[in-house]
Structure 1
């Protein structure tokens, strides 16, 4: 058999095989999921990853340590979006994705701090065809993360956490014993001293912590109510982590306490704030801007995200939650009126990061201004603190009654 004859046989065999190879390749491509978009939003304590698919994906999720990672396994997926769409920021140190052998792909989230997926589900796209995979993460203590890794029930490469549209974990576990939980947040702390008294040079962080402890004691005296502090000593806690602590411990109400300073030293009195994407006035806007710089003081990078990214991260406060926040703020003002000095127009709103819990009614209370000598004197007076703490606890009780909230007997 001549060499030319063999070459002809091989040539015609290839002509016969090429269409089969093309068909097989096209079939494999059609069977692969297509991830056509991705986005990520994160700060130091929370993060959200969103990946859009042409079809509904099945996935599994598990954790690894050293380094701390959340691993999402998928069927074979073609990632058809730019790498720049999933640039790691905030909580995420690295985000990688790709194929893992035949018929399998994987997304790996490497985290700066131990974190848990509090939401992992597939949702239908609202404005287009297809589905999106949404992973929400929150920091947790290292010991809890170690337990999470050690108690995973493995079946092959799958974990006991099945990602088929089910919620993974609980962002806000049910309160123990049915108590109504209130998070009392003492503003500032640690390296972030906050404002300073005009006369005594007292630090805002010390004023707020002393008042927070007093308020928590008085709230705990209300039947069916249990209060806890987001910080119990002179420790720095980021604004985002304060929100996470409140939600993870099941808070139903969040009260953040502050005592700022102003250039206009004649302005004095208490003010109650709720969150809004637009400030009610220049004073509110300025205060929110200064309070939001708290993380920057401690060296935490704060990104000014575009509006759509901010919405992805926090789903900004739901209307129902915001309505309850306003109701609580109104109850505080009603309790304070005629009892302590209030600023003009004491109900205000602005974009305070510490009020960003989407499912916990939240207020920020400026007790007064350390830049005003009269306010400073009161803010450092234990008797005045006790009076205001009593009035504020009364306001919480009124809020619960007017909102129809049932507490444990």
Structure 2
């Protein structure tokens, strides 16, 4: 497969202001922009929320306090120039209006979203999808407020007479005038935002006093995973499309949750944990890809929500000042969204594998691996094969096989960030 060239970076629209306003019959969400952008709005019912996907835009990553029908506005920079906003709501809502207003009368382009209660209306709670942005390649499950949520902010109380400023949304955002009905003069447009390369965190399983599985020839899993991690890092860096961090680059022991913390602390776009299994049934061989199971995720979300000090529970967001209901919704939504993204990447790993790489029957699996429990980083665990199987063990210690497997994973990563690029296996 030929090298994938990254597309030319578009000039990203800047967010000049973000605000919520409460009207007698609706709640209005407004973004003021430097230029019009594609968008897609979806309503969801489990839990009740509105998801806004934006393209060709730079977002400061702040969380806005809730007003009216909206409990909060949380953001996720899904990929360079792509942003997802999640608005958990007080109940079922319907979209009354979703559109881009072109610049006029000296005012910049605006994205306007009007929401009204859906209870008691025909098809109350039925999902809606509105906008100009094409839908995802695969159906999406209920989504979440993104990972890197900035500190909660406060602002003036909503007025029933019209929209108000939502307070300072965060660094990089210009706040609208607080008086009703007045828009600020837009500042001079900023230069195009610098697009930062996605960060991939690779986790070589085991290490130090924990050797992991042991092959019949005495080879330790911890050595195989480290060799594979280094090869994957080499190929990812050679592509010049990614930044890469290893959770360990030598033979040391790192607790499972500390490995996930590396990904969160570094602001990772993807987390890939590498392992090699061993079981008593020595005829079993092949690769499998794990994502976090629903059961483990729900338990993790509950634990996070019950912590007395919930500061930094989700990418720096202090939930301690949020009502219990809002905190639980935000944590649950964030875990759900990252699980959706993790499953999407796992499927790409499978379809991107070199045909020479054996896979287990039903290779896409889920389990409660502690290393996968970061609520705000898409994470997979790749069991590269079985050290208890003679052929798998031999291949996993072979440099050429590691290069082939690493190339497959690079294709999957390319496919994740450039849909359609990571296809190989048939």
Q: TM-score, normalised by structure 1?
A: 0.48
